[in-house]
Structure 1
Amino acid sequence: MDSKNFLFLLVLASYHIYFVTSSFETYTVEVIDGKIEHLMFHIASKDTDFGNKTMTINGTFRWKFRRNFDESTLYRGEFFWMNADGTPLQEVDFNIFNKDVARECGQSILVDHKCFWLVTDTGFYFAKDTPGNWVFKYKWPLSG
């Protein structure tokens, strides 16, 4: 076998291993209501829709999944800070999980990756592995 064929087979095998093992990567995403008394949200992917959820302060919502072979797994989150009368005070939406969040959360077939989102009156904070060491990511549109 010449070196070109060997290199081609090596690249092909590496590609195959990467895509087969990436489907074994498991992720747990948890949303934590840190300060919003009337928080509603809607999280959905192409295949899964969790519907509208209402949370209380210190409440959590979590789900676990395996990422797609092609790294296209995408969960979109719409968050609504509601007034006591049920009308929206502020709203924001963003990709709560995608390939960029996966990179931040970690990529390995050997562990269950944990990604955390903390919702506060100033905005949305991200952490990996355990809640803490929060990194500010998004603000509410009307926040200071």
Structure 2
Amino acid sequence: MSLAKSFFILLFILHIGNIYPAIAGNYNSVRYEVHIVSALPNDDIPLWYHCASKDDEFGTHMLKVGEEFHFRFIQNLWESTLFFCHFWWGEKQNAFDVFSNSLTKLCSKSSLRTCYWKVQSDGFYAGPKLDQLNLMHGW
């Protein structure tokens, strides 16, 4: 390989190395926050949940009426970030994705993109605010 060709390859690699952090830096400015709120009728039957992703394990926990669980993250470069939860309420249970690229339309459009899930006796509601929710899943 000629010296000139090697020099241009080196310049190209250095150029890519310099612009990649700028691209990644701009991309990482969008943050998401997912809230899961218990709006069940009473605490006689506890709401249990287990949420996780490929990289994060939140464990199994209980929510009382009016309590919430929330977490923040930055969606990956490939927009394949996925969080799922399994819910139990007495004999009822359901499991589904609470965040994926296809669900971003349910989130607010502010600098911190907030997504709400509200658990009620008839199912699971989602939207950008607690007063802007749609039924997404039944029990």
Common fold by TM > 0.5? yes
Q: Out of 103, 106, 110, which is 1:104 matched to?
A: 106
Provide the residue aligned with 1:26 in structure 2. Answer: 31
Unaligned runs of 5+ in 1: 1-15, 83-88
Structure 2 residue 50 is the aligned partner of structure 1 residue 45? no
In structure 2, the CA distance between the partners of 1:93 and 1:18, relative to structure 1 (3 Å rule), is farther
Q: 1:54 and 1:28 mapped to 2: Cα distance?
A: 20
Determine the C-alpha separation between the residues in 1 that align with 2:114 and 2:34. Answer: 6
Question: Any unmatched runs of 5+ in structure 2?
Answer: 1-19
Secondary structure of the 1:42 match is strand
Q: 1:24 Cα shift?
A: 2.4
Instruction: Say whether residues 1:120 and 2:120 are aligned partners.
Output: yes
Kindly provide the amino acid, as one letter, of the partner of residue 33 in structure 2. Answer: T
The normalised TM-score by structure 2 is 0.76
CA contact (8 A) 2:37 2:69 kept: yes
CA distance in 2, matches of 1:26, 1:123: 27
Listed one character per residue, the Cα deviations across residues 5-56 of structure 1 (whole Å, up to 9, x for unaligned) are xxxxxxxxxxx88876333210011000001631000000011010001010
How far apart, CA to CA, are the structure 1 residues paired with 2:25 and 2:115? Answer: 22
Q: CA deviation at 1:103?
A: 2.9
Cα pair 2:126 2:133 within 8 Å, conserved = yes
Q: Larger C-alpha radius of gyration, 1 or 2? A: 2
Q: Percent identity?
A: 25
Is the 1:76–1:93 Cα contact (8 Å) retained in structure 2? yes
Aligned to 1:57: 65
TM-score by length of structure 1 reads: 0.73
Q: How many residues align?
A: 116
Confirm or deny: 8 A CA contact 1:24 1:67 kept in the other structure.
Answer: no
Partner Cα separation in structure 1 for residue 23 and residue 135 of structure 2: 31
Q: Give the structure 2 partner of residue 11 of structure 1.
A: none
